[in-house]
Structure 1
């Protein structure tokens, strides 16, 4: 599989994101066989494991990976595939559903900040603080003024994480409505997957254009050079997973991580 150029999938800061400008399918140069995708993902997994080990040992930087997308876009799947071969030490995934009563009585970032990574950690958000400018917006739970305020709070929050040494990488898993229909039908046809289905999965299809506009506004307002958004083609699961794995590896490599030096003189150690 050829090396991916992520530039075309980067949401330009201060630009206007139009999701229709991004394909949900792999580009021509991204076409590969199932075996090639599997080999690439294994290669990226090996690199990711080494980089995460260095991240954990050094404890000078941290990484927060945010996954957002329409239902069935593959948030669970990409987490499972990409992080299969990574040591669980210093890595955790956090999922955010409907806020509890206690969470609802706090500011919307309260529950999010508590789950953010420390230096040395890699944390994956399956849904995130962006739900509070997406679902709430589409459902009419917040108005335009509140939404704009939350964009600003998000920008300041992610800037705070950056100042603390935490890199924020955000991925919008871009799935087509036709592909979502196939995946929802597959879940309906498989009793083992019925537990994944929620009434909102079907209700949200009726307001697909509204969710699309909400995502476009959120990505436009919050993609920054320090905390960028990438639009990931998600109709192909193998391509999606390889894309994300490579992007995370590139992000960690750009940190220029270094293994810490020993805390004592190893030359004086004599094994008996």
Structure 2
């Protein structure tokens, strides 16, 4: 990212964790090598400062702050915000959206849930459908899964070669650079849960009839590939954490803490953008509505 002007510098600062922040330990710096998910404890709670009830209250307060900032973000109209949520099955992407963005107006916040591409989408390059859904000026878009599925599922299943995988990493980096250089703040969160935690959450979906719709027998087959998916995540974190779109690993065994951490980072990022309402319209000065 070009940081020569004030706007670019503000974007850069908004994306990078201050050294004294608990966020810094979990952000994957650009060019970092040897990312190992085992070094990130999914049960850790770096943003927690009290009991579960206290953390839940903080999440609600942050969600309301985000609502106020989103209104200002929309009125300001200079920036766009893309929030990417990636993670294994049951890592909490849906719950994050409800907990962090549940208080915001639907007028300026859009959520996209990505599934396997349709036949018309397969007829184009794999980023074609993604580009159509990125946020417009003043808008926040949240991706539930994302273009990173295209360097996870095909890699684990051997559908593309290592050379093609590296090529896709570069495509994605260039794509996100384009977004960043045209005013989009890209926040990328990898929701990190443990193997045992996933087992418990899958079992809960089996046992609770109201959650059967969330469960597929295919989830059990994917679970058998856990180690391969962990390696694929490590590789993409190394290859696609850039100055203009760094990754943050979120310890997500605790649903409350997951929401607390992401809500705090989203709030802090919006605050760092120096948002402001448009200049006063001189034509309205002294106007009286009869």
With the shorter chain as reference, the TM-score category is: over 0.9
Distance between the aligned counterparts of 2:50 and 2:91, measured in 1?
A: 20
The size of the alignment, in residue pairs, is: 270
Distance between the aligned counterparts of 1:62 and 1:224, measured in 2?
A: 18
Contact 1:71 1:180 in 2 (8 A): yes
1:15 matched residue in structure 2: 32
2:96 matched residue in structure 1: 78
Deviations 1:85-137 (A, max 9, x none): 11111101001101101111110000000000111110000000000000110
Give the one of 172, 175, 178 matched to 1:160.
178
SS in 1 for 2:225: helix
Contact 2:63 2:101 in 1 (8 A): yes
Q: Shift of the alpha carbon at 1:169?
A: 0.4
1:209 matched residue in structure 2: 227
* Structure 1, unpaired ranges of 5+: none
Q: Establish whether residue 62 from structure 1 lines up as the match of residue 46 from structure 2.
A: no
Identify the range of structure 1 (134-143 vs 261-270) with the bigger mean alpha-carbon deviation. Answer: 261-270
Contact 1:4 1:243 in 2 (8 A): no
Contact 1:62 1:121 in 2 (8 A): yes
Distance between the aligned counterparts of 1:193 and 1:29, measured in 2?
A: 29
Say if 1:103 and 1:32 are closer, same or farther in 2 by CA, change over 3 A: same
Contact 2:80 2:140 in 1 (8 A): yes
Q: Establish whether residue 248 from structure 1 lines up as the match of residue 266 from structure 2.
A: yes
Q: Shift of the alpha carbon at 1:271?
A: 2.9
SS in 2 for 1:92: strand
TM-score (norm 1): 0.96
Contact 1:49 1:87 in 2 (8 A): yes
SS in 1 for 2:82: strand
Contact 2:22 2:47 in 1 (8 A): no
Counterparts in 2 of 1:128-139, with a 5 A limit?
128-139=146-157
Identify the range of structure 1 (133-142 vs 19-28) with the bigger mean alpha-carbon deviation. Answer: 19-28
* Structure 2, unpaired ranges of 5+: 1-19
SS in 2 for 1:30: coil
SS in 2 for 1:159: helix
Distance between the aligned counterparts of 1:28 and 1:170, measured in 2?
A: 18
Distance between the aligned counterparts of 1:206 and 1:175, measured in 2?
A: 15
1:111 matched residue in structure 2: 129
SS in 1 for 2:155: helix
Distance between the aligned counterparts of 1:41 and 1:116, measured in 2?
A: 26
Distance between the aligned counterparts of 2:47 and 2:240, measured in 1?
A: 29
Q: Shift of the alpha carbon at 1:270?
A: 1.3
Q: Shift of the alpha carbon at 1:33?
A: 1.4
Deviations 1:131-182 (A, max 9, x none): 0000110011111111111000000000000111001000000000000000
Counterparts in 2 of 1:15-54, with a 5 A limit?
15-16=32-33, 17-27=35-45, 30=48, 32-54=50-72
Counterparts in 2 of 1:130-149, with a 5 A limit?
130-149=148-167
1:228 matched residue in structure 2: 246
Q: Shift of the alpha carbon at 1:29?
A: 6.7
